[in-house]
Amino acid sequence: METEAKQSLPLSSEQMAQWENDGYLLLKDVVPMAEINGVRDRFNHVVDGIIQQLKEQDIVEEDGAELPFETRYWKVAGEHANRFGRSWRGQIATSEIFDLHYAGPLVDAIAQLTGTDVIGHPVFNARPKLPGQQLTVVPWHQDSGYFGTVSEQSLIPTAWIPLVPVDETNGCLQVVAGSHKLGVVNHHTENREGKFLEVLDSLVDEEKIVTCQMDIGDALVFNNLTLHRSLPHTTSEIIRWAIDIRYLRDGDHPGSIYWKDPDFKWVIRSQTESVTTLEQWLKMW
Ligand SMILES: O=C(O)CCC(=O)C(=O)O
């Protein structure tokens, strides 16, 4: 996919048509650096904790404190990183990730796509994809494969946000344009290391695959029914750091994943309701 100039808002009628027809949009430069840096700080904090554990267990000697965020986790933890999982959620349910969901230009776009108040969804993930790592290669799936058929009529847009530039060599995302029109399809657990849910290859129209090259500040927004996957990381020592977050069309079912209080509504922007505070949100984890 060609990269373009900064996204201007509101979204154009062509973009709204692309969203309807293709089930995804690549938005350029819609996540301000303040929010990106907050997420990086939080991920750094998690990495600090992991490296501390590895040192205490005498698995690694050096903490690599002098290394940059882009390489440190990989260079210090190396193959031991696998034991800390393929994605993190509990560890990142903090103010920085809360703030990311409120990033102005992104929220403007989501409001336009849903046509309602902007409601947050409880599923988000930190995704460190290390060079050569199989564990974090995500096969073709729909997010509704995880949320269940109860979410079929819901609109739960995902915003996938890289913290480093991504392309087909370091684990960017691919989407199948128009696949959201399939409805929820059957998923099974893959045999590979990640044990992610995947769909049969026969459901993927090869001619409709779009490879999403992205820069820092960009967001790939896709429908919960859009087939997507992430590619292997085959080059460089730069970790493919990314975060995926989700929103909900107001009034829709969030799918078979709930807050601590199932009646909790995370109001991010509203014409009529009070916006959820950090304090209220933190109580839900
Ligand atoms: O970040 C990745 O590698 C995969 C992301 C993904 O599949 C998702 O956000 O649903």
CATH code for the domain of 145? 2.60.120.620
Q: Which of 43, 88, 127, 133 to mutate to test the pocket of ligand 1 (most atoms within 8 A of CB)?
A: 127
Q: How many of the other CB atoms lie within 10 Å of CB of 262?
A: 7
Interior CA angle at 269 toward 42 and 215, to 5°? 45
What residue owns the CA closest to ligand 1's atom 3?
230
At position 276, the amino acid (one-letter code) is T
What residue owns the CA closest to ligand 1's atom 9?
244
Give yes or no for a contact between 162 and 240, defined as CB atoms under 8 angstroms apart.
yes
**What does pLDDT average to over the chain?**
96
pLDDT of residue 254: 95
Residue 244 Cα to ligand 1 midpoint, Å, equals 7
Let me know if 202 is exposed, middle or buried by CB neighbors in 10 A (0-12, 13-18, 19+): exposed
Residue 228 Cα to ligand 1 midpoint, Å, equals 8
Residues within a 6 A CB radius of ligand 1: 127, 129, 136, 138, 143, 158, 160, 228, 230, 242, 244
Q: Note whether residue 260 is domain-resident.
A: no
What phi and psi, each to the nearest 5 degrees, are found at residue 42?
Answer: -65, -45
Model-level pTM? 0.97
Q: Note whether residue 81 is domain-resident.
A: yes
Q: How many of the other CB atoms lie within 10 Å of CB of 152?
A: 15
* Alpha-carbon span 235 to 53, nearest angstrom: 28
Residue 116 Cα to ligand 1 midpoint, Å, equals 25
Residue 231 Cα to ligand 1 midpoint, Å, equals 10
pLDDT confidence bin for 236, thresholds 50/70/90: confident
Residue 225 Cα to ligand 1 midpoint, Å, equals 13
Atom of ligand 1 nearest to the CA of 230: 3
Q: Note whether residue 61 is domain-resident.
A: yes
Atom of ligand 1 nearest to the CA of 136: 3
Residue 81 Cα to ligand 1 midpoint, Å, equals 18
Interior CA angle at 231 toward 227 and 236, to 5°? 155
pLDDT in tens, 73-107: 999 999 999 999 999 999 999 999 999 999 999 99
* Alpha-carbon span 24 to 223, nearest angstrom: 6
Q: Note whether residue 278 is domain-resident.
A: no
Q: Note whether residue 270 is domain-resident.
A: no
Atom of ligand 1 nearest to the CA of 129: 3
Q: Note whether residue 273 is domain-resident.
A: no
Residue 226 Cα to ligand 1 midpoint, Å, equals 12
What residues contact 3, with CB distance under 8 A and at least 6 apart?
28, 213, 214, 215
The boundaries of the domain holding residue 121 are 14-252
Domain count, the chain: 1
Q: Note whether residue 163 is domain-resident.
A: yes
Give yes or no for a contact between 81 and 247, defined as CB atoms under 8 angstroms apart.
no
Give yes or no for a contact between 76 and 67, defined as CB atoms under 8 angstroms apart.
yes
pLDDT in tens, 211-232: 999 999 999 999 999 999 999 9
Give yes or no for a contact between 57 and 32, defined as CB atoms under 8 angstroms apart.
no
Let me know if 178 is exposed, middle or buried by CB neighbors in 10 A (0-12, 13-18, 19+): middle
pLDDT in tens, 163-193: 999 999 999 999 999 999 999 999 999 999 9
* Alpha-carbon span 272 to 270, nearest angstrom: 5
3-class state of residue 171 by DSSP: coil
**DSSP conformation letters of 194-216:** T--EE--GGG--GGGEEEE-B-T
What residue owns the CA closest to ligand 1's atom 8?
244
At position 84, the amino acid (one-letter code) is F
Q: What percentage of the chain carries pLDDT values higher than 90?
A: 94
pLDDT of residue 4: 62
Atom of ligand 1 nearest to the CA of 196: 7
Q: Note whether residue 238 is domain-resident.
A: yes
Residue 56 Cα to ligand 1 midpoint, Å, equals 31
